[in-house]
Amino acid sequence: MILVVDGLNRHLFGEVLDDMFELRARVFGGRLGWDVNIEDGKEIDQFDHLDPAYVIGLDDEGNVVAAVRALQTTGPHMLSDVFSDILCGEAPMRSATMWESTRFCVDTQRLTRGKEKNSVSYATCELMIGSLEYCRNAGIQDIITVIDPVMNRVLKRSNCAPYDYVGQTVPMGKVPAMAALLDCSEERISGLREFADIRHDVFIEEEEALEMFEAKKAATLSPANRDHKPLTDLEKYFVEQMSSAKTEEERQAVLKLIEALSDTFTPEQKTALLQTPRAFAHEA
Amino acid sequence: MDIVDLSTLPEQDTRYDEFLRQVCDKYEMDHAAYAGMNPAAGTIHGHVTYGDDWKAHYQEQGLHLIDPTLHMSQRSIAPVDWSRLERGKDFQRVFRDAHDFGIPDQGITIPVRGPYGDIGLLSAVRECSRDEWKKLVPNVISDLQSLAVHIHDNVMTSDTISRMLYHPTLSSRELEILQWAAAGKSQQDIGDILSISHRTVEVHLRSSREKLNALTTPQAVGRAIGIGLIYPG
């Protein structure tokens, strides 16, 4: 699934961004050997301070498996400042309906080969679909993207070949880099979706993502039955109620019930129940 | 095609307001507003189609200090639909008042980032059902993006110092394509001549137009000739 983090919601997703900066350090500092600044295991540059938009691929557990960064071409961006070699010193394009995408990366260590979910190919296609659709929804018509030849091959193989290139291919670390042009047309998006067999909406909403991370944290921090004792009938009842709750109201009702019956629990149990009904649920 | 173009309007302070009114007419919006900040010149610009009563109230109450459609939207690179902001207390504060003046709280703000840290925000609002709004926005969003940059660049270059800083730099590819356009060649022809895709010609022309602050290719050709970037066809 794809989460979009920008200047408006980045305060909610600090840990996701940290994971992404670490992935970027492994990919650009390590595998590609680019001359990037890595501090504390994270690769962060001057453009990360300009409130770019990040399109981030997450696996089902909420781990960052792919990411890319987008900036407007009307203002400061990488091709206008640091990638001038690629443009042979020429002025970069500037357009209200063209965004620049940089730092495209996929976690090849966590992901598998093949084409199914959790593969490099799936994560790459999902991220491409997410970025193209995010651009299209913003009224953007073209993307200029700085990529390496491997990524270029991946795009070609995924039914998503760039329609042209700008400037020249230049050496950068262990691999060359180039600037490719992609349109955000329906044809391109549906071609990619067809290739990857991804039919569903790839985006995860802000609230949904927050809930997922909350649940993940709760599950690792304090499972309600961390003593591994079998659940009592009453606990099982709560779990059933919680997992069948469809709305926030129903969820709140269960929490109130737990609160009301709290004298039957130890304070610890109660806290755990209230905090982690979801983590609790999968133990049932 | 009728286009909304600042250069066709008389050089007066009211031309930006007139431009915004034309944007509303063409894109079925109730109101439009532009705010621009130019840190290099230390100036702030504002133009709106709202009534004078709301303008006065907005200023008296200092709503510009908290208005999230200004402060939040500039942190996004994508247009910000106000539904993303509506839960904040500042939004509720501003739009509770706006409601009393008949200003709807359904809108979108398009942020523009310029080369010198300058920021522009073009907002458009419309009172209609959520469904209608969701159908309208995708149809107009690309055009609004272009017009946001158009008004922003015009406002930012309205003083002499900024105009000098804003001298357009076109790449040799852009100049080459513009030169062929000046010779009367179509996009298709130019693509064939240079052995590049039709779309590549299109994006370079779009970029050249924007750098020259023009909305049409003939305008861009005229201006490029005017400042000696290319030769007359």
Candidate from A136-150, A156-170, A259-273, B120-134 with smallest mean pLDDT: A259-273
The domains found in chain A, sorted by start residue, are 2-205 (3.40.630.30), 222-281 (no CATH)
pLDDT of residue A279: 46
Candidate from A144-153, B53-62, B160-169 with smallest mean pLDDT: B160-169
How close B171 comes to chain A (CA, Å)?
A: 5
Contact call for B114 and A51, based on CB within 8 A: no
Contact A76, A25 (CB under 8 A): no
How close B194 comes to chain A (CA, Å)?
A: 13
**pLDDT mean across residues, chain B:** 91
Q: Which residue has the higher pLDDT, A274 or A197?
A: A197
Contact A163, B199 (CB under 8 A): yes
How close A46 comes to chain B (CA, Å)?
A: 14
A52 touches chain B (CB under 8 A): yes
Name the 3-class secondary structure at A53: strand
B residues 170-229 closer than 8 Å to A (CB):
170-174, 196-197, 199-200, 203-204, 206-207, 210-211
Interface test with B, best of A80, A93, A181 (most B CBs within 10 A): A93
Of B77, B80, B172, Cβ closest to residue A90: B172
Could you tell me how many CB contacts below 8 A there are between chain A and chain B? Answer: 107
Res B13 pLDDT > 80: no
What is the tens place of the pLDDT at every residue in A123-163?
A: 999 999 999 999 999 999 999 999 999 899 999 999 999 99
Contact A92, A98 (CB under 8 A): no
Length of chain A measured in residues? 284
Measure the CA angle with vertex A188, ends A182 and A191; round to 5°: 140
DSSP for chain B reads -----GGGS-SSTTHHHHHHHHHHHHHT-SEEEEEEEETTTTEEEEEE-S-HHHHHHHHHTTGGGT-HHHHTGGG-SS-EEGGGTTTSHHHHHHHHHHHHTT--S-EEEEEEE-TTS-EEEEEEE--S-HHHHHHHHHHHHHHHHHHHHHHHHHHHTSSHHHHHHT-----HHHHHHHHHHHTT--HHHHHHHHT--HHHHHHHHHHHHHHTT-SSHHHHHHHHHHTTSS---
Of A80, A91, A138, Cβ closest to residue B79: A138
Q: How far apart are CA B18 and CA B105, in angstroms?
A: 22
Contact call for B142 and A134, based on CB within 8 A: no
Q: Tell me the sheet residues that pair with A182.
A: A143
Q: What is the mean pLDDT of residues B156-177?
A: 83
Q: Kindly state the DSSP code that residue A228 receives in the 8-state scheme.
A: -
pLDDT of residue A192: 95
pLDDT of residue B1: 38
State residue B45 phi and psi, 5-degree precision.
-120, 140
Q: Residue A277: exposed, middle, or buried by beta-carbon count in 10 A (0-12, 13-18, 19+)?
A: buried
Chain-centre distance for alpha carbon B22: 13
| DSSP β-ladder status, B80-81 and A164-172 | unpaired
Q: What residues of A are in contact with residue B210 (Cβ under 8 Å)?
A: 74, 94-96
Of B72, B148, B211, Cβ closest to residue A94: B211
Centre a 10 Å sphere on the Cβ of residue A58 and count the other Cβ atoms it contains: 22
Q: How far apart are CA A192 and CA A196, in angstroms?
A: 6
Cα–Cα distances in Å, from A181 out to A53, A168, B32, B87? Answer: 19, 13, 33, 38
B43 touches chain A (CB under 8 A): no
pLDDT of residue A199: 95
Q: What residues of A are in contact with residue B204 (Cβ under 8 Å)?
A: 93
Res B26 pLDDT > 90: yes
B158 touches chain A (CB under 8 A): no
pLDDT of residue A224: 54
Binning pLDDT at 50, 70 and 90, where does residue A170 land?
A: very high
pLDDT of residue A247: 78
Q: What is the mean pLDDT of residues B10-34?
A: 90
pLDDT of residue A221: 62
**What percentage of residues in chain B have a pLDDT greater than 70?**
93
A76 touches chain B (CB under 8 A): yes
**pLDDT mean across residues, chain A:** 88
How close B233 comes to chain A (CA, Å)?
A: 23
How close B176 comes to chain A (CA, Å)?
A: 13
Q: What residues of B are in contact with residue A141 (Cβ under 8 Å)?
A: 142
Binning pLDDT at 50, 70 and 90, where does residue A268 land?
A: low
How close B51 comes to chain A (CA, Å)?
A: 29
The domains found in chain B, sorted by start residue, are 6-162 (3.30.450.80), 168-226 (1.10.10.10)
